[in-house]
Amino acid sequence: MPPPKLKLYVDTVSPFAYVAYYILRHDPVFSKCEVTFVPILLGGVMKACGNTAPINIKNKDKWIEVERLRWAKAFNIPMKPDAPEGFPPKTLTMMRALCALTALHPGDEAQKPLTDCLDALYEAYWVHHKKTDEKDVLAQLLSDVLGKQEAEKGMHLIIGNDGDQADKYAVLEMAGKEGKAILSKNTDVAFADGAFGLPWFVATNSKSETEKFWGVDHLAQVTQHLGLEKPKMGGWTSLL
């Protein structure tokens, strides 16, 4: 019998996508589940379905600030209480760069460098409030994470022409071509999967039955469908 599979669409602009991502990455509930993360452009999905950003809705803009901190506290997720300056950031280049990684590492091999980068980007933005949408900041973060690994493949992310300065823009250059096409495709697939916001889960249990779920507050339903046991402690107690 195949193991349960769970796909989570992500964009670093969403605090709730970050909460869902962190739980899937760190909670042992999902240790026996094949988890796949797929970078998309949240703005593209919302435009496709005519959705409006919560920050543009009166009262809801204040509510999401309260809600993100409640979930972060419930699951011990590192997140600063105040919103990053200039929120929401423009993540187009960032998400294209992450998609470019999937071109460099086809298939399942893409998940390791992808999650390494997502770990760093989520922490940099939501914990340290670094301006990850700025090209120099993004390039340095990608270089710090991928440097030695990608240098072995001739991308020179660590050793530049002077032997000291990294060519930090290698992945970003790919983002303009391969990354652009993959991001567009991923976003279209997310929309076809029914997504209208994040986090959006596509869960397939061991019986090959697939269901879709939206929102951190539906994680208990996700585990139920996948045949995973919901813990009776911590933040899980707040989930029906």
What is the number of structural domains in the chain? 1
What are the structure tokens assigned to 124, written together?
Answer: 């940099």
Please report the pLDDT score of residue 167 as a whole number: 43
Active site residue 143: no
pLDDT value at residue 162 = 39
State the amino acid at position 30 in one-letter form. Answer: F
Look at the block and give the residue holding tokens 């929309």.
Answer: 191
Structural domain for 147, as ranges: 5-238
Catalytic residue among 14, 184, 206, 238: 14
Q: Crossing angle for the helix pair 60-74 and 15-26, nearest 10 degrees?
A: 10
The pLDDT of residue 174 is 64
The single-letter code of the amino acid at 217 is D
Contact 194, 51 (CB under 8 A): no
Length, in residues, of the chain: 240
- In single-letter form, the type of residue at position 147 comes to G
Q: Show pLDDT as tens, one digit a residue, over the chain (240 residues).
A: 899 999 999 999 999 999 999 999 999 999 999 999 999 999 999 999 999 999 999 999 999 999 999 999 999 999 999 999 999 999 999 999 899 888 888 787 889 999 999 999 999 999 999 999 998 898 889 888 987 545 334 333 333 343 334 444 556 666 667 889 999 999 999 999 999 999 999 999 999 999 999 999 999 999 999 999 999 899 999 887
Neighbouring CB atoms inside 10 A of 191's CB total: 19
CB 132 within 8 A of CB 125: yes
Q: Which has the closest alpha carbon to 37: 88, 130, 93, 101?
A: 101
How far is the C-alpha of 90 from the C-alpha of 20, rounded, in Å? 20
The SS3 call for residue 149 is helix
Task: Report the pLDDT value the prediction gives residue 172, as an integer from 0 to 100.
Answer: 66
In the prediction, which pLDDT does 170 show?
A: 58
CATH of the domain at 60: 3.40.30.10
Enter the pTM of the model.
0.89
Q: Which residues contact 76 (CB under 8 A, 6 or more apart)?
A: 234, 235
Angstrom distance (rounded) from CA 49 to CA 32:
34
Separation of first and last alpha carbons in the chain = 28
